[in-house]
Structures are given as structure tokens and as C-alpha cells.
Structure 1
């Protein structure tokens, strides 16, 4: 059976991660160098888009669920957030976030914890902005994955999305806002909106922009070729949604 476009892109993303050198490295985005530890998903053009789209407010309390290498947490602190917390199920990602906070001079504002969604937070914690770019690849329920890089990419049955919205209200300030990234090529934006609505949140699509990838990088399978333009380019929409209480 031929794979869908989402399955092809998902397999490519994981193969890219598997092929990365298993050693500490750096990457360059937003005019800065970022440390990347082994088995941490590196900041990429989608990370850049979401980070620049977030409406950071001076003095606000910011939480990122799935902080990865910590670029968004660092930028939040640099844009005036009074306190910044990063959470990630991957212990190396939490360490990576602290490394980049130190590298860019905001270690006094940024804290990071190893956490399965909100598990590491104190029950009294409240945030004005909560952001997540969750695992986007909606695999079948029962698909096993590691707790490292694959956990940043795979969300069998969108179960992480469901857990997020089931508990996020406990940590959101009364007038707070939730921001969530969505890759509409490999994810399921309509289901994301349904899950949020079932949890009592009103949502809207804040921004959308295509990210272009040469189809040959993924592999010229039938699904990929059908989606590519005449120049062999895939144009994949990524979006940011904003959610709030009614």
C-alpha cells in the first residue's frame, strides 16, 4: 500500500533526525548561534516562524511545552517576559534550553524541566502565555516511539494534544492565551480545533505561511510527486492557532 504524503514526510523527518551526528553541534537562526545537544530536535525554519509570530508581552509569564533546544524560551526572555519556563519530555532538551539561556544571557529568567506535558509544574503555577509546537505526525494508536527525538515528532492518535487541552486550563491565567503550532501537511488542524473546543476553548487561526521543501529531499514517491509543483517543490502550510476561554 502506498504511503500518504503525511506518512512520507513523517518518515523523512525521522530519517533526518537519525542521520544527524550524535554529538553536540550548533545551528544559526534569528541572527544567533544555538547549541544543539544529541537527540534534541534542532531549531529550524518552522521554529523561527512560530517564535517570530508569538505576541510576547513585557512582564508576562511564559510557558513553552516542548521547548526543544530552547530558542523560543530565550527569545521570550529577550522580549521582556518576566519569567519563562520550558518543559520537555526529553531530558536533553531541558538541559539544552538551560544551555542556550546561559549562552544568550537570560539564565536568570529561564527555567526548564523534564516533564511529560505539565507533570513537573507546581499545581499553583499560572502563565499568561502558553505555547506549544507539539508532535505533529498523527500516527496510528499503538505506534511505539522513543522518548527522545521521535517524541518531538510523533503523536499516536493525537493523544498528547488531548492531554494538553485536558489540563492546560489549570495553568492558564484568567485572561491568558494559548498558542499552538500546526503543520497542516502532516497533522490534523480541524481535529486540533475540535479537541480545544471540547475542552472549553475558543480558537482562531492566527497566521499561516508555506514552507517550501524540494520534493527530491523527501523522495519522489507517488504521494510526494503528486503534491509537488512543476518545479519539484512542496509547499507545506504551517499555522499558528490562538485559543482562549470564552
Structure 2
């Protein structure tokens, strides 16, 4: 992940910061990441990410099994799937997205499927929850059944590879991306911490590069990132594909309620400059 530039935050971030403790998670304060390979800030220091607990896939797999509470509801979780209540991100983005009532919604990297279920419950006529991990899509199916989200379908595949030729187009596409960018040779890339790290910006590139092929004519593209994300790369990649990122919401969890209280979550809409020019 490239270092954030001091000017980027002042130029891009606006509006009040949201504080809420309705996450269902617990944890101590975070610690700053160290500088990793090739000048990339690493997501961890001595095995501790900026999130306030040690992270490794075995730890998360042990934690993420059974049920959890989030947004006032109970959800299923299968082993190996990142537990959404550990951070404020899922609750924050789920509350803030403008679900297209009567339209089609696609969530990439759906994880446990919380946001996709809320999209269905908010009145979206078609919802597709996609993830590269079959355990995640299986969890999303369980949660769709638990909450009566009968309009929700799941698909397993890498980014838009999961989307079939008859699934779209979509009125809104959303991805809560991994916040930390690391190079392919990073030890964190080898740890398989898929929920936290975006190796060589693969997820960001795939989302921005492929979104237009799956958006409806007036479709909207939203990305969930954090203040530790490579926001310069976001702008560069977006503009290369005819988009302009616009910050629409920002927020943090209340101190002591989750593991990422030191992070700020950022919801961006990528405005389509080609459509605006017509």
C-alpha cells in the first residue's frame, strides 16, 4: 500500500465523521502499521495489524464459526469467512449505500452477505452476492435464507468472473475492498489474509476495469475503502477508465466497540465521466 499523501485527505474527505457503537465487535485500540517491502506500509507490526488484535487466517477461522450479531440481527458464519462484527466497515457501508429499489444490485467480495441481504430487504428486485471463496457464498446463502432474502442469488468467482452473461446489468455495484495494498512478494500476500490485503491492487484494478461492462446505462459504482488505503491509486485507476471518485460518506466506530476504531471508513462513488459528457 502506498503511503497516503497529507494533501489527499484534505482534498477528498468532507462532511461529518460518523461515530457509532452498533457493530457487535469488541477489541482494544489499534496500532500503526510498519513500513513493508518496497516502501509499502505493511498491515501489521509484529503480527498485529492496525486492527487491534493479532491476525492470521487460523485465528479468524476459529473466531468466525457459528453466529454473530450485527445491525440488530443475528447472522450465520462458516469457518474461514471473515467475521463482519470484528470491524465497523460492514455496518457502516450497509447503512450508507443507496439501494436501488426495484433495481439490480451486485456485491463483489460479499463475505457473509450482510450487505447483499440488506439490499434485498431494501427492495432491490435482483441481488447477486459474489465472492472468490465458496465458504463466503455458502454463508451468504445461509443468511439469505435466515432473513428471508429470497431475491438474493450467490455466485463464486474472482471479481466479475463470478457474473454470468444473464446476471446483469446492475443498477448498483458495490465492493468493500481490502484496505491494505501489498506487493506480490510481501509476507502478508503469502499469509492469505484476503479480507485485509489487496495484492498488487488486483481487486481494485478488477473492479474499476470491469465495472462498466456490467453497469446499467445509469448504473452506479460504489467502493468501500479506508483512510489507510492507496487513495492515489484509486484516483489514477479510476481516471484511466473514465471515472472520477467522489467521497460520499466517512465514519469510524466508537472507541472500544470494534477492532478498527483507529481507522476511518470511506464510501466512494465513482462518477462515470463518459456518461456525463453525453
Counterparts of 2:94 and 2:163, CA distance in 1: 23
Aligned-residue CA RMSD (Å): 2.4
Contact persistence 1:212–1:235 (CA under 8 A) = no
CA displacement at 1:190 relative to structure 2: 2.5
CA displacement at 1:135 relative to structure 2: 1.6
Between the two proteins, the alignment pairs up a number of residues equal to: 225
Whether 1:57 aligns to 2:104 is: no
CA displacement at 1:211 relative to structure 2: 3.4
Contact persistence 1:212–1:236 (CA under 8 A) = no
Counterparts of 1:184 and 1:11, CA distance in 2: 18
Whether 1:160 aligns to 2:203 is: yes
Whether 1:241 aligns to 2:268 is: yes
CA displacement at 1:127 relative to structure 2: 0.1
Q: Higher RCO, 1 or 2 (CA under 8 Å, sep at least 6)?
A: 2
Counterparts of 2:97 and 2:185, CA distance in 1: 33
Whether 1:15 aligns to 2:55 is: yes
**Gap regions ≥5 residues in structure 1:** 219-232
**Which of 186, 204, 207 in structure 1 is aligned with 2:249?**
207
Counterparts of 2:90 and 2:249, CA distance in 1: 14
Whether 1:118 aligns to 2:149 is: no
CA displacement at 1:176 relative to structure 2: 0.6
Whether 1:39 aligns to 2:80 is: yes
Counterparts of 1:60 and 1:152, CA distance in 2: 28
**Gap regions ≥5 residues in structure 2:** 1-32, 36-40, 274-278
Whether 1:102 aligns to 2:133 is: no
Give the 3-state SS of the residue equivalent to 1:57 in structure 2. Answer: coil
TM-score (norm 1): 0.83
Counterparts of 1:190 and 1:23, CA distance in 2: 33
1:131 matched residue in structure 2: 174
Give the 3-state SS of the residue equivalent to 2:262 in structure 1. Answer: strand
Q: 1:111 to 1:234 in 2, by over 3 A?
A: closer
**Which of 135, 138, 142 in structure 1 is aligned with 2:185?**
142
Contact persistence 1:135–1:153 (CA under 8 A) = yes
